[in-house]
């Protein structure tokens, strides 16, 4: 896909809310975009796929003022005529109640080339996440999607409610919560059985998903009692009876939990993925970033009997130094390699090295005690600038000659949404705050100097990755509620799940 000289617009369906439901082609378009014009209700995490130069514009909302669709069409044409790759990022599918057809017509009239990238519409996605298949043998062999907007209820509407009420087995109504009573009256008035099961699925496919079930007879009262608001889908039909048997999303162990991740953004993806896979909503709030040190004189590893890697960062940055000097893994020669933790082992495997020794624990004194035959051996320890002295001191006590070489530093990150995070913490809007290193603890607290830890964390639980981080937290007067059994994000997620279940 080469950048066209005249510009082009990709009308892309982003899916219903879960950021991973965008298509591969949709993501590819984002990765090439010069301009992204996106809808208000989209998952903002999708914009992280854009290049750094991408201009991001929130689309005017056509629901507020009719002329705003014209303004949006003009924006698309304007940027495309400037020779840019424009992505019009829309919720759900562009051509299912998404006004994508109107935008495509405007582009055609302006002679702007465009492509449509279909998306997963909320009617099928939100229903599936709620455990409701819109078709199912024995329950429903037909389905219809209909808008529940006020215009659909006017006498001159082109929606034939008289036929629609009984023509299909499953009826999915978009944008109908505000008019639920009128929709129910029309369906019953035109022959739909009052005992027909009905479900409303609010913000489907997200950890805030909420499902209210009833029948045409009582659903209005149930929705009013629950104070359910838009956006929500209305699903009418016998397929709703399958929810209790087929529900899977809102039964995950961390479903609905809001978990704040303070890890460096570059390292947080795996942790966030594990939390999200268990149903949590992840709030990214990095307090550190990994920054390689400049001007470091890195000795060649073949001059040492042992090289000890204590983190993935150490492996990656050390190997980059080797490559910059025209070398590869052969530079290790006969040196033995120690790798601390499964992630470090995996990082070494990725560059073709199988470690000679893996300690049972990540604590420095344990590593030093478990390496055999270390007396009088030369040891290279490339690691973080702020790493603790337990490991090199322990090795020296056993007679080793240690070169402790700082490769990188963990630098404090200034986040722009401290006020919002503080408010969420104080009102109990965050269930867990996670810390994966001592620096994440200290940096986080420095961002909120006006609040004591006891006040800041009064309505949330604190989860830490290991005893070193716990020690730092306690020294800062932070009460630790959850501690991982092993120093890994997998173990930390397991500990959070265990705490939530119990």
What is the arithmetic mean of pLDDT over 110-139? 97
CATH code for position 26: 3.40.1010.10
Last residue of a domain, one of 190, 225, 251: 251
Contact between 200 and 219 under an 8 Å Cβ cutoff? The reply is yes
Write down the pLDDT at residue 69: 86
Q: Indicate the average pLDDT of the chain.
A: 92
Residue 388: pLDDT band (50, 70, 90) is confident
In 48-84, the DSSP E strands lie at: 55-58
Range of lowest pLDDT (260-274, 391-405, 454-468): 260-274
Domain of 165? Answer: 124-251
End of a domain among 93, 120, 147?
120
Q: Give long-range contacts, CB 8 A cutoff, 24+ apart: 449-458.
A: 451/422, 452/477, 453/477, 453/478, 453/479, 454/479, 455/426, 456/422, 456/425, 456/426, 457/425, 457/433, 458/426
> What tokens does 163 get?
């036929």
Residues 264 and 241 in one domain: no
Q: Does the pLDDT at position 279 exceed 90?
A: yes
Does the residue 76 lie in any domain?
A: yes
Helical H segments across 136-206, by residue range: 161-167, 180-189
Give the global pTM.
0.83
How many structural domains are present in the chain?
4
The answer to whether residue 1 sits within a structural domain is no
Q: What is the pLDDT of residue 66?
A: 65
CATH classification of the domain holding 447: 3.40.50.10090
For residues 48-70, average pLDDT: 83
User: Do 224 and 171 share a structural domain?
Assistant: yes
| Burial state string for 99-137 with b = 16 or more CB within 10 A and e = fewer than 16 | bbeebbebbeebebebebbbbbbbbbbbbbbbbbbbebe
470 within some domain: yes
pLDDT at 295 (0 to 100)? 81
What is the reported pLDDT for 42? 80
Residues 247 and 264 in one domain: no
Comparing 269 with 82, the larger pLDDT belongs to 82
In this structure, are 283 and 418 located in the same domain?
A: yes
Q: What is the pLDDT of residue 288?
A: 84
3 assigned to some structural domain: no
Among residues 69, 93, 120, which one ends one of the domains? 120
Give yes or no: residues 218 and 185 share one domain: yes
- Asked if residue 364 is part of any domain, the answer here is yes
Q: How far is CA 255 from CA 195, 203, 248, in A?
A: 30, 14, 10
Across residues 91-97, what is the average pLDDT? 95
pLDDT given for residue 103 in this prediction: 96
Q: What is the DSSP letter of 299?
A: P
Tell me whether the omega of the peptide bond preceding residue 320 falls within 30 degrees of 0, making it cis: no
Do residues 138 and 96 share a domain? no
Q: Give one word for 414, left, alpha or beta, with left for phi > 0 and alpha for psi -120 to 50.
A: beta
Mean of pLDDT values over 246-266: 93
């Amino acid at each position: 896909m080469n950048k066209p000289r005249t510009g082009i617009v990709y009308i892309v369906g982003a899916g219903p809310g879960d950021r991973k439901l965008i298509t591969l082609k949709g993501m590819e378009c984002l990765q090439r975009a010069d301009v992204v014009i996106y809808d208000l209700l989209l998952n903002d995490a999708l914009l992280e796929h854009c290049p750094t130069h991408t201009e991001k514009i929130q689309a005017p909302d056509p629901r507020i003022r009719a002329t705003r669709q014209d303004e949006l069409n003009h924006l698309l044409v304007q940027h495309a005529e400037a020779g840019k790759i424009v992505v019009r990022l829309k919720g759900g599918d562009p051509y299912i109640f998404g006004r994508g057809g109107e935008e495509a017509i405007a582009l055609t009239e302006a002679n702007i080339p465009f492509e449509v990238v279909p998306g997963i519409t909320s009617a099928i996605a939100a229903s599936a996440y709620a455990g409701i298949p819109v078709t199912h043998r024995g329950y429903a062999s037909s389905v219809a999607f209909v808008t529940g907007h006020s215009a659909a209820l006017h006498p001159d509407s082109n929606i034939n409610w008289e036929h629609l009420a009984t023509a299909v087995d499953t009826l999915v109504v978009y944008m109908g919560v505000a008019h639920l009573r009128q929709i129910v009256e029309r369906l019953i008035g035109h022959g739909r059985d009052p005992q027909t099961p009905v479900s409303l699925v609010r913000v489907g496919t997200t950890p805030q998903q909420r499902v209210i079930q009833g029948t045409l007879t009582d659903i209005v009262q149930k929705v009013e009692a629950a104070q359910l608001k838009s956006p929500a889908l209305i699903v009418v039909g016998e397929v709703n009876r399958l929810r209790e048997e087929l529900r899977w999303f809102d039964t995950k162990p961390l479903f609905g939990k809001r978990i704040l991740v303070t890890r460096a953004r570059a390292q947080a993806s795996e942790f966030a993925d594990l939390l999200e896979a268990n149903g949590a909503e992840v709030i990214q709030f990095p307090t550190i970033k990994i920054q390689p040190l400049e001007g470091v004189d890195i000795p060649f590893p073949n001059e040492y009997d042992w090289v000890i890697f204590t983190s993935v960062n150490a492996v990656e940055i050390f190997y980059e130094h080797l490559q910059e000097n025209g070398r590869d893994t052969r530079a290790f020669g006969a040196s033995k390699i120690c790798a601390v933790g499964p992630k470090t082992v995996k990082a070494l495997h990725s560059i073709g090295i199988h470690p000679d020794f893996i300690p049972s624990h990540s604590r420095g004194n344990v590593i030093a005690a478990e390496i055999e035959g270390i007396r009088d051996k030369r040891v290279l320890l490339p690691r973080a600038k702020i790493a603790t002295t337990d490991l090199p001191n322990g090795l020296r006590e056993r007679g080793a000659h240690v070169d402790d070489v700082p490769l990188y530093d963990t630098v404090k990150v200034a986040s722009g949404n401290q006020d919002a995070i503080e408010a969420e913490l104080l009102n109990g809007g965050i269930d867990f705050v996670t810390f994966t290193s001592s620096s994440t603890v200290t940096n986080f607290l420095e961002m909120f100097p006006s609040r004591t830890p006891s006040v800041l964390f009064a309505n949330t639980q604190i989860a830490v990755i290991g005893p070193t981080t716990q020690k730092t937290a306690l020294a800062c007067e932070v009460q630790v509620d959850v501690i991982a059994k092993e120093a890994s994000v997998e173990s930390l997620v397991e500990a959070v799940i265990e705490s939530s279940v119990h």
